[in-house]
Structure 1
């Protein structure tokens, strides 16, 4: 497999796959929450053993040219990223050895480590460890604006689609001006995001 390209993922998912079923594996360069591990053979009966089989269809692995297993454990809505730099998750129960160094690099990995611990303990994603992202509503609006611009929609069309029919007309000039400015900002942000700004999302 070639190294991550300009897009930042380790492989290109089929664009026809539904969002909840897609398994994007972002390069650790862009996903600071990626946990680097070694997968060591587990001793029989070890309490520290992790059996990747219990993750079932949640587990996706892409093998790199350097034999690193770029791994995501995801149900389509929640995710945990691992880079297995030694050993393999495809050969039965393992004991994970974590490669952590420094303070700055540790900070974005604390929550993913807690999520992994909870997943291995309860065999499910613990909802309290995956709080809603407050940025998501605006990001969804940006995606909708980007899609609308791509098919030639006007600012008025976009405002009506996003905020309701009839709110962007001559009878509500003040509100129309406000919505025009709002949609214009969304359009500007959407273009910047499509031009590569999305690669900074996981670092914010």
Structure 2
């Protein structure tokens, strides 16, 4: 196993894998905060909806529970910008940014 700067992350992942394989309690995965995990989930849901032909407004109605908005309400809604951000983040993840999920954040 390579033990470069990511070695600690790899060792932690191996520990979780071994615990799962041997029926022991699996230690929590500390790479993402609950907020980061929730955002990643919403990004994937938004990307999936977009891929299946949903409009940004429809995505907001489902993911952000905005209810049905009129065209004018939608144009002025903060949910519109939130969905655009989710889709932008999803595109970055799909383009390879998902690899960052595998590592702990490190100070430079």
* Structure-2-length-normalised TM-score: 0.68
- Mark the runs of 5 or more structure 1 residues left unpaired by the alignment: 1-35, 37-99
Kindly tell me the number of residue pairs found equivalent between the two proteins: 101
- Mark the runs of 5 or more structure 2 residues left unpaired by the alignment: none
Map residues 29-108 of structure 1 onto 2, 5 A cutoff. Answer: 36=1, 101=3, 104-108=5-9
- Highest RCO, 1 vs 2 (Cα 8 Å, sep ≥ 6): 2
Distance in 2 (alpha carbons) for counterparts of 1:182 and 1:116: 35
**Structure holding more strand per residue:** 1
Q: Alpha-carbon deviations, 1:10-63, whole Å to 9, x = none?
A: xxxxxxxxxxxxxxxxxxxxxxxxxx2xxxxxxxxxxxxxxxxxxxxxxxxxxx
Distance in 1 (alpha carbons) for counterparts of 2:17 and 2:88: 37
Q: CA deviation at 1:141?
A: 0.7
**Structure holding more helix per residue:** 2
2:84 pairs with one of 184, 188, 191: 184
Q: Alpha-carbon deviations, 1:114-167, whole Å to 9, x = none?
A: 4366x39x921413x124742221111111111111122111100001122525
Moved runs in structure 1, 4+ residues, more than 4 A? none
Larger Rg: 1
The RMSD of aligned alpha carbons is 3.3
Distance in 2 (alpha carbons) for counterparts of 1:182 and 1:113: 36
